[in-house]
Chain A
Amino acid sequence: MNEIKPKNSRVERRFAVFFLAPALLLLITFRLIPLGWGFLMSFTDADNTGQANWVGAANYIKAIEDPTFQDSIVNTLLLLATMPIMVMLPMLLAILIHQGVPGGRFFRAVYFLPAVLSSVIVGAIFNIVLRYDGSLNSFLDSIGIDGVDWLGSSNTALISLIAVQLWSTFGMSVLIFMAGLTTVPDDIIEAARIDGARFWQRLYFIVIPSLKPIIEFVAVVTTVGLLTNMFGLIYVLTGGGPGTATTMPEFLIWLEQGKLNRPGYAAALSMFLFLMMAGVAYAQVRIMSRNAKV
């Protein structure tokens, strides 16, 4: 078949290239090429002076045996273990607000406020508050309870970090859940009510199952945030300490690259992080395609 290629499609194609060029140029130069380069770099012992020798998988082996890295992985697992709370709590709050708890609209606006603040600001404020010589302990003192070294003692440091992270991100999840709640059709809830279901029963049997895609979405977004968005917080709140109590991989990578001058090793660590991200992405794609069929 002799396909006529009219000026139409040629013009369209050239224009599309013209319009996509800046975006693609930026993305390829600053994200995709570095990804490949990082992958290669992870197999070298590069340092910041430009020296680099091929060392094969030595960095990876070193990472697996590195106690600091191991600690950071353990911390990450502990962090991820609290993810269900980070999803359930906002969901409960969203449902309550949606159902008309008095003051709901005010709450919704205020809950989101922490999400607007940068992690550095949040970290700095809570650093002042939670320090051993900080305001929380002063307050506790004044009502007769002994102060605790929230940030300085390894037992409480990680918990403090997790609590602050929860504080700063739950508002966003509440908003997303509230948006999702509008997609739950009223009529099936009313039908359940006529069928005799109480509030908690309606919640458990109707509302929450309808929210499943949103729950999964929030879980993914929260996990991504936990893996990649806590740098500022860690840096300012605890600096990774005490010791390695609050060190996470994303912080460690920065440490290794800059302070400790081992960018090749840092690149290998990044690949581990990338694997975790890829795992999350894979889960997300699976979830999305499953929900799309529904």
Chain B
Amino acid sequence: MAISGKRERRSMWFASVPMGLLALSCIYPLYFALNNALKDNRGYILDRFGMVTDPSFENFVTAWSRARFSEYFLNSVITTGGAVATLLLVSSMAGFALAVLRFPFRRTVFVLILASLMIPVQVILVPFYQTIIATGLLNTRIGLIISYTAFFLPFSIYLMTAFYAGIPRDLTEAARIDGARFLQVWWYVMLPMGKPALLTLGILNTLYCWNDVLISLLVLQNERTLMVGITALRGEYTTNVPLLAAGIVLAAAPIVVIYLVFQRRIVAGIAAGAVKG
């Protein structure tokens, strides 16, 4: 975009330097965690910020087995996976109904769903906890999956509704004339066309669920998800920093990998949402 002249662009090299430092500061903590995870405890105490001298993976092994990170990892995978699958299904159903079908109170329902976006966990912490107990979902992974779904649903429905509303009405009508019942319209036309939106939504929801700590702290009391495991690790092993670092790396790695792989798609999804909002 030719907005700046050559002379102005040359002076932008000056901006590069602080911006580069900032970028470095964004990467540094991950490097820091990885670096220290490879040290042993003594090595860390002797040299807190330098490079590791004789790397060893022992901390990872300890975290995985003795600190029970393998269990936490499994819990996170199960609950995140289950929640994301449920979220995609329920939100694409609701989005289809809201965007395409005609029925009374449609607007009211939509506004209601949007309004729930404004109710963060903290505001309903107490009664939510009681509801979980009352429905017998306390301490169950299913309960956590249902809770995640309930909390991330409004945003997902909003995205899917906006997407489906952008698909021309003609296509639904042509399908109906071709003999498709509404369920078939959804299955054969809307879902396949919605693949990009579903993918973006899937990635975002995976992010939210994997990184959550408050809801899992409430619902899953006897077991732990990965993030809760980190808070516990900090409590139990405060003096063994490399071990903590190893736990951090284990917890962060899947998300960082997903980010690197899907980076462009995530950026595009956020850009689309921002311009609409």
Binding site for B on A (CB under 8 A): 9, 11-13, 15-17, 19-20, 22-24, 26-27, 29-35, 37-38, 41, 46, 93, 96-103, 106-114, 116-122, 124-129, 134-136, 138-139, 142, 167, 171-172, 175-176, 178-180, 182-183, 186, 189-190, 193, 199, 202, 214, 217, 224, 227-228, 231-232, 235-236, 249-250, 253-254, 257, 263-264, 266-267, 270-271, 273-274, 277-278, 281
Contact = CB atoms under 8 A, between A and B. Distances in A.
A179 B151 CA distance: 27
Contacts of B130: 34, 37, 263
Per DSSP, chain A at the interface is helix
A232 B227 contact: yes
Interface in B161-187: 182-183, 186
A19 B96 contact: yes
B212 to A, nearest CB: 7
B84 interface: no
Interface of B: 1-5, 8-9, 12-13, 15-16, 19-20, 22-23, 25-27, 29-30, 32-33, 36, 48-49, 90-91, 93-94, 96-98, 101-104, 106, 109, 112-113, 116, 118-131, 135, 146-147, 149-151, 153-154, 157, 182-183, 186, 207, 210-214, 227, 230-231, 233-234, 241, 244-245, 248, 251-252, 255-256, 259, 263, 266-267, 270-272, 274-275, 277
Contacts of B103: 12-13, 16-17
B29 A126 contact: yes
Contact of B113 (A27, A107, A118, A182): A27
Contact of A23 (B153, B248, B277): B153
Contacts, number: 296
B152 to A, nearest CB: 10
B259 to A, nearest CB: 5
Interface centre among B29, B146, B154, B233 (most CB of A within 10 A): B29
Contact of A214 (B2, B121, B274): B274
